[in-house]
Structure 1
Amino acid sequence: MSLTKDTRTSILDAAQDLVQRQSISGVSFQELAKRTGIKKGSMYYHFESKDDLTLALLERATIELRESFERGEGKTPKQRLAYYFNIYRLYVIPSEKLCPGGAFAGEWDKLSEPVQEQVKRLLMAQSKGLKSVIAAGVETGDFNDQGQSLDELTQWIVSCIQGSLLVCRIYDSKQSFESAVKVINSYLMPSGHY
């Protein structure tokens, strides 16, 4: 197994970093070529267009997210929920980034329909994985649904986390995220178990 990344993966890594920090409009083939050490013309060998690159980036993020939820299936619902929060706490917030899906919200109307659909698939993968965590927790008694449906709880948590990431970036502080996590945990955990 080679320890060096292939060129396509290097391009996707650089593009993801730019998207999460600046949005898709901050991504140019010229900048990606500079960051990856290849010629701008060579970029078109790997990606025919910016949309092609964007779709590949979002597809990769969707696959990685699904795999992440699958890896957690042997853990307790509380451990799985903590892991979900830690994805943001450990990898997104310290780097002052938005999540790959949320990074596209500010330019939503400028995105092509295929890109919009792939962003939706990424968020649906997040919601589906999180819903399975909540369902398992309700079933085991680790979580209290507070009379809400699994869909409502899932959408609330996703919205809280995505919104808190925006606020964290604006204030350059992870306090909004930590507050959201605390409230979500206190809402879901049966009395005295948080």
Structure 2
Amino acid sequence: MQTMNPTKIALLDLAEDILQTKSFANVSFQTLAKGVGIKKGSVYYHFESKEELGEAILDRAMALLKQSLKDIESEPIAKQLHVYTNWFAKHIGAAEKLCPGASFAASWDAVTPSTRKKVEQLYELHKMSLSKIIQRGRNEGAFAVTDKSPESLSTLVFALLQGGLLASRVSQDKEEFAQCKALALQLVKTG
């Protein structure tokens, strides 16, 4: 695996923070250059365009989610579900930030088709991964079997978790995310 240049990582970190706490419209190469301590022109060495930068943020989010899920694939299914639902608070930050994909969704009409595709891939990765966890839990008798398919249930759970991030961001109350997470777990475990 190729290691990334430390300056590129710092640019990604700062751009991601701005995206998740403000908006992608607030991400500028001038702001990034100043924040990292390089010249504006040097940002173009790492990212040819703002679109490329945004897509790199989404690629990194997908890689982190994939790795997190890979790290727990041999764990008991109930623990996998718990780790997945906690992933949002751990890697995004309840009451602090929005998911990178949700941040782009807030200005969907202004997002380029290429970046939209990356957001859709991140969304599908979440739903597919959660559907697999739910199906395995049902097969093992750990989760309730209901009239909802694992796919439709994963959509509900994902929406609850994303909504919990949004609600807790507005209220600045991490408990709001915790309540949404608890309801999501209840839906999977008891139907």
Normalising by the smaller structure, the TM-score range is: over 0.9
Confirm whether residue 46 of structure 1 aligns to residue 46 of structure 2: yes
Q: Which moved further from structure 2: 80-89 or 45-54? A: 80-89
Q: Find the counterpart in structure 2 of residue 137 from structure 1.
A: 137
User: Which aligned pairs between 1:36-185 and structure 2 lie closer than 5 A?
Assistant: 36-93=36-93, 96-185=96-185
Letter in 1 for 2:11: I
Query: Counterparts of 1:186 and 1:41 in 2: how far apart (Å)?
Result: 51
Consecutive unaligned residues in structure 2, runs of 5 or more = none
Deviations 1:12-34 (A, max 9, x none): 11111111111111111111111
C-alpha displacement of 1:47: 0.7
The CA RMSD over aligned residues, in Å, is: 1.7
Q: Find the counterpart in structure 2 of residue 29 from structure 1.
A: 29
Consecutive unaligned residues in structure 1, runs of 5 or more = none
C-alpha displacement of 1:155: 0.5
Secondary structure of the residue aligned to 2:100 is coil
C-alpha displacement of 1:148: 1.0
C-alpha displacement of 1:176: 2.1
- CA contact 2:19–2:100 (8 Å) conserved in 1: yes
Percent identity between the two aligned chains: 34
Letter in 2 for 1:16: E
Q: TM-score, normalised by structure 1?
A: 0.91
C-alpha displacement of 1:139: 1.0
Give the ranges of 4+ consecutive aligned residues of structure 1 lying more than 4 Å apart after TM superposition.
none
